[in-house]
Amino acid sequence: MGRVVWVDYAKGIGIILVVLGHVLLNSSNGPAAHFAAKIIYSFHMPLFFFLAGLFVIKSVEKETTTNFILNKAKRLLYPYFIWSIFEGSIRCFLSSKMTIQNPVSISDLLAIPYQPIYQYWFVYVLFICFCAFSLAYKKDKSLLGCIMITAIAFAYRDLPDVQVIKSIFYMAVFFIIGAAYSKYNIENMLERMKPWIFPIITVLFVGVEAMYLRGINTSFIKFVLALLGITFTIGCSMKIAKCNILSALKYLGNISMPIYLSHILCTITIRLLLNKVGLYDSTTHIIFETAFGIGLPVLSVVWLEKTFIYRWPFGTRAIQIAK
């Protein structure tokens, strides 16, 4: 599957939802913020695993397993450790000086190799998904084995009492769906669908979301809701790409990884500054924290993209999530 424009738009939508979702979680804006965060969290991370899966087969087929895993370590594992240690150290220092939300201890820092902290679980789990897929797919050049393994893991996802393993077992399903989407040219099927299909998907997404918000949150509902959210985002992204508008959204998609890595530190900084000058209104916080949670990482890419904080020091940029 070649590079397609709508994917960048989908990642742009996704990364905005990530930043906004984290801001809303720390907001005191009452039920509205709670419901908005719940909607975002119902599908935004499965979306990113789906997008990552779109390109995995092409990458695996053109590289040896060893080279593939090494390249993914440079793109994912390296920034995972850099940013986990960086943010974790700041939180650890602040924890010793004052009471903060989500403190980090020395033992948490030492556990980073096997127990991700906060938002960095995504990068860790994504790396595991890439590695596991490359090993399984190389064996028989077929998705069947990968699908079977993933289905078994998904069925028993609640058995392990370790959160990161649960995340791997759950998110791997959307990663495999992304791989199947590209391998079996499902995109062409979607493009040939009648114009009224997208409104139907939209209605289904809104309807199931309403059920979820009313407390019907079974595993089946959550899974269906994630799939509908992904499909809805794909539809929106394709329409935007065809109109060739919102180029800024496409740019955000291209640099979604740096935004993901650094946005929490940016939002926390803005939150503290707003509190320092006496601005406690939750709506003001949501607007400013979201804007700067996106804007400051964008500036950091412009100024620091070639430094070690975003890329392997000897080459290979750590910029894009789904490649």
Q: Residue 311 domain-assigned?
A: no
The residue written with tokens 């939508």 in the block is: 13
At 277 the three-state DSSP class reads coil
Q: Residue 320 domain-assigned?
A: no
Task: Judge contact between 6 and 238, C-beta under 8 A.
Answer: yes
> Which contacts of 275-278 are long-range, i.e. CB under 8 A and separated by 24 or more positions?
none
77 to 31, 102, 312: CA distances (angstroms): 37, 23, 10
Q: How many CA atoms lie within 13 Å of 299's alpha carbon, on the beta-carbon side?
A: 8
pLDDT reported for residue 267: 93
Quick one: which of 227, 178, 201, 261 has its CA closest to 7?
Answer: 178
The residue written with tokens 């789990």 in the block is: 125
* Number of compact structural domains in the chain: 1
Quick one: which of 255, 10, 260 has its CA closest to 123?
Answer: 260
pTM: predicted TM-score of the whole model, two decimal places: 0.90
d(C-alpha 212, C-alpha 204), whole Å: 12
96-140 pLDDT, tens digit per residue, is: 776 667 788 899 999 999 999 989 999 999 999 999 999 888 766
Domain that holds residue 81: 5-304
Q: Residue 194 domain-assigned?
A: yes
Task: Judge contact between 121 and 164, C-beta under 8 A.
Answer: yes
| Average pLDDT of every residue of the chain | 86
185 to 7, 195, 223, 255: CA distances (angstroms): 15, 19, 22, 26
Residue 67's identity, in one-letter code, is N
What are the residue ranges in the chain where pLDDT is below 50? 1-2, 321-323
The residue written with tokens 């906060």 in the block is: 118
At 2 the three-state DSSP class reads coil
Crossing angle of helices 44-53 and 5-25, in 10° steps, is 150
Q: Residue 34 domain-assigned?
A: yes
List, in sequence order, every residue forming a beta bridge with 20; answer none if it has no partner. Answer: none
Q: Residue 243 domain-assigned?
A: yes
Residue 273's identity, in one-letter code, is L
Q: Residue 143 domain-assigned?
A: yes
236-245 pLDDT, tens digit per residue, is: 998 898 888 8
Quick one: which of 112, 113, 153, 116 has its CA closest to 136?
Answer: 153
d(C-alpha 233, C-alpha 237), whole Å: 6
